[in-house]
């Protein structure tokens, strides 16, 4: 039995908040068996907030044993109404602890108040309640087969689910993963991102308080090549759900193939196109396009990173878009005036500035921004626009994951559809037009899992989200996510047919 790890008190925005530091196994916060810890930084200041326990493969083994015991010990066959009530209770506790949850999410991820409070927290609570409602609505079917038999299907939980989440939405990704899994009777071994482990730790505190049985949800904080790899390769994990880079997604898929062929769902990167036609409402298209690229400083997998504007309105759009991008307030995450916070860490900050250099060297025009913003030691970068881009440029092809957008001109509908689909990704795409025939035509032709008409970056828990092409496998959210957390059993019942 691992030793218990005490919580630490951290001052966030002049308030003391207690944060668990241990791995969460069997409803206890425990020390890592290997005795290691790692530091967690506030991206808005570059300063260390606290150190927490760092798991390794041996801790993953313990967590899997706890999850297996909980699965076999009753959770899988539990009353769905009870599972629903626990999910609702967890949502209630998030509401009750709203200010603490918000503060932790903000220093964990670097999200400004007006984004964390209007999107991350309410959407996480909404998602929990949505899947609570699904818990007792997962049905099998009966089938007419041969007279003298009774045949039906049941949908059963998959088992122990490994879940590996990224750093851009620490709270929401945690909830997107646990809610459908728990509603359908699975148990969980979660790995948070090493840059943003704090919201997940706070959630585990609430999970215990809500009354989930020991072992139902386990969390092993730590790094990808150790904890993540141990999950992906584990012989007693039945499914792995991953969100992060396409490169790591490939590693996970290979690990699943070479271990126990665990089921895999992947939510990966994107380079989403955003198309503006002359008949669109120009200012609305500008507003949605700015939201499309600048929400969470561009660290969003479905960000609208490639804007295609019809030549007739190109100059007008560029002028209005530039004006709005230039007015974005970059700064303190605690100020309600702030639009854009910091990038998540030094490595992402360097990577983004590196892409800005590449863009200049490739011959694109740096139309706006392109510089670091020096503030409080945090990793801030100016909203950045490149124009005069060509399809083969790296800044047009690769995911930058920062506040950097490229804008290109187009002449015809056919030409822009080819340009929009000219990517190995297929996560999302948007079109701005008031010609609804055209909107329908184009959304049909866009090879992307989510398409928007006259909006961008808008998701809802009741609508499935996931990628075409190299943006992923499977869907999260909506009823569709339940397919990823259940497997179908066919039952043939002999009502009297003789042996053939």
Which residues are near ligand NAD by CB under 6 A?
Answer: 164-168, 191, 193-194, 223-225, 228-229, 232, 243-245, 248, 251-252, 267-269, 301, 348, 399, 401
218 DSSP β-pair partners: 189
Please report the DSSP string for 243-295 in residue order. Answer: ES-HHHHHHHHHHHHHTT--EEEEE-----EEEE-TTS-HHHHHHHHHHHHHG
Closest separation between CB of residue 488 and ligand NAD, Å? 28
Of 476, 108, 84, 416, nearest to 273 by C-alpha is: 416
Contact predicate 436/454, CB 8 Å: no
Closest separation between CB of residue 195 and ligand NAD, Å? 7
Catalytic residue from among 54, 161, 301, 382: 301
What sign for the dihedral angle of Cα 207, 224, 163, 452?
Answer: positive
* HSE (side-chain half, CA atoms, 13 Å) at 118: 9
Closest separation between CB of residue 191 and ligand NAD, Å? 6
- Kindly tell me which of 185 and 228 has the beta carbon lying closer to ligand NAD: 228
- Kindly tell me which of 167 and 379 has the beta carbon lying closer to ligand NAD: 167
- Kindly tell me which of 100 and 108 has the beta carbon lying closer to ligand NAD: 108
- Kindly tell me which of 254 and 329 has the beta carbon lying closer to ligand NAD: 254
* 88 burial via Cβ count (<10 Å: 0-12, 13-18, 19+): middle
Q: Please list, in sequence order, all residues whose beta carbon lies within 8 angstroms of the beta carbon of residue 191, skipping any fewer than 6 positions away.
A: 55, 162, 163, 164, 165, 219, 220, 221, 222, 227, 228, 231
Catalytic residue from among 28, 100, 105, 267: 267
- Kindly tell me which of 72 and 480 has the beta carbon lying closer to ligand NAD: 480
For residue 108, give the H/E element and its range.
helix 98-109
3-state SS, one letter per residue, for 370-439:
CCEECCCCCCEECCEEEECCCCCCHHHHCCCCCCEEEEEEECCHHHHHHHHHCCCCCCEEEEECCCHHHH
Of 212, 239, 216, nearest to 70 by C-alpha is: 216
What is the spatial distance between Cα 44 and Cα 403, in angstroms, rounded to a whole number?
Answer: 16
Contact predicate 161/181, CB 8 Å: yes
Closest separation between CB of residue 473 and ligand NAD, Å? 13
Going by the DSSP 8-state scheme, the letter that residue 118 receives in this structure is I
Q: Please list, in sequence order, all residues whose beta carbon lies within 8 angstroms of the beta carbon of residue 213, skipping any fewer than 6 positions away.
A: 27, 70, 73, 74, 75
- Kindly tell me which of 1 and 261 has the beta carbon lying closer to ligand NAD: 261
Q: Please list, in sequence order, all residues whose beta carbon lies within 8 angstroms of the beta carbon of residue 203, skipping any fewer than 6 positions away.
A: 90, 171, 174, 175
Closest separation between CB of residue 460 and ligand NAD, Å? 17
Contact predicate 46/343, CB 8 Å: no
Contact predicate 388/374, CB 8 Å: no
Closest separation between CB of residue 337 and ligand NAD, Å? 27
- Kindly tell me which of 54 and 100 has the beta carbon lying closer to ligand NAD: 54
What is the spatial distance between Cα 43 and Cα 106, in angstroms, rounded to a whole number?
Answer: 9
- Kindly tell me which of 299 and 433 has the beta carbon lying closer to ligand NAD: 299
Closest separation between CB of residue 244 and ligand NAD, Å? 3
Is 267 an active-site residue? yes
Closest separation between CB of residue 252 and ligand NAD, Å? 6
Active site (catalytic) residues: 267, 301
């Amino acid at each position: 039995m691992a030793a218990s790890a005490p919580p630490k008190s951290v001052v966030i925005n002049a308030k003391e908040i207690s944060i668990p530091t241990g791995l969460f196994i069997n409803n206890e916060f425990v020390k890592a068996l290997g005795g290691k810890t790692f530091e967690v930084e506030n991206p808005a200041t570059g300063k260390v907030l606290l150190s927490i326990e760092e798991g390794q493969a041996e801790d993953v083994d313990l967590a899997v044993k706890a999850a297996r015991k909980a699965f076999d010990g009753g959770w899988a066959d539990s009353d769905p109404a009870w599972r629903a009530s626990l999910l609702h209770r967890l949502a209630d506790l998030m509401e009750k602890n709203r200010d603490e949850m918000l503060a932790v999410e903000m220093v964990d991820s670097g999200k400004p108040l007006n984004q964390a409070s209007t999107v991350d927290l309410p959407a996480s609570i909404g998602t929990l309640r949505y899947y609570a409602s699904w818990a007792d609505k997962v049905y099998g079917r009966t089938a007419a087969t041969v007279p003298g038999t009774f045949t039906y299907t049941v949908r059963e939980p998959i088992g122990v689910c490994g879940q590996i989440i990224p750093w851009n939405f620490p709270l929401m990704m945690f909830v997107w993963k646990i809610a459908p899994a728990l509603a359908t009777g699975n148990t969980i071994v979660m790995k948070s991102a090493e840059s943003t482990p704090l919201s997940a730790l706070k959630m585990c505190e609430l999970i215990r308080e809500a009354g989930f049985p020991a072992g139902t949800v386990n969390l092993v904080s730590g790094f990808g090549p150790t904890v993540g790899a141990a999950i992906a390769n584990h012989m007693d994990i039945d499914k792995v759900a991953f969100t992060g880079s396409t490169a790591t997604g490939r590693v996970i898929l290979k690990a699943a193939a070479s271990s126990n062929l665990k089921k895999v769902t992947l939510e990966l990167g994107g380079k989403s196109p955003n198309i503006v036609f002359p008949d669109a409402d120009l200012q609305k298209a500008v507003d949605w396009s700015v939201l499309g690229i600048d929400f969470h400083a561009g660290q969003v997998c479905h960000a609208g990173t490639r804007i295609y504007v019809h030549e007739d309105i190109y100059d007008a759009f560029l002028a209005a878009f530039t004006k709005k991008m230039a007015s974005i307030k970059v700064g303190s995450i605690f100020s309600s005036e702030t639009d854009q916070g910091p990038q998540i860490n030094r490595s992402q900050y360097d990577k983004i500035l590196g892409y800005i250099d590449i863009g200049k060297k490739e011959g694109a025009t740096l139309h706006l921004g392109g510089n670091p913003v020096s503030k409080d030691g945090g990793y801030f970068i100016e909203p950045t626009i490149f124009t005069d881009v060509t399809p083969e440029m790296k800044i047009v092809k690769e995911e930058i994951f920062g506040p950097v957008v490229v804008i290109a001109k187009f002449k015809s509908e056919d030409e822009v559809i080819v340009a929009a689909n000219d990517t190995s990704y297929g996560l999302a795409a948007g079109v701005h037009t008031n010609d609804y025939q055209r909107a329908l035509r184009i959304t049909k032709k866009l090879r992307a899992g989510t398409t928007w008409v006259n909006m961008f970056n808008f998701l809802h828990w009741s609508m499935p989200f996931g990628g075409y092409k190299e943006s992923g496998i499977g869907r999260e959210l909506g009823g569709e996510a339940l397919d990823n957390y259940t497997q179908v059993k066919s039952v043939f019942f002999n009502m009297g047919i003789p042996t053939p």
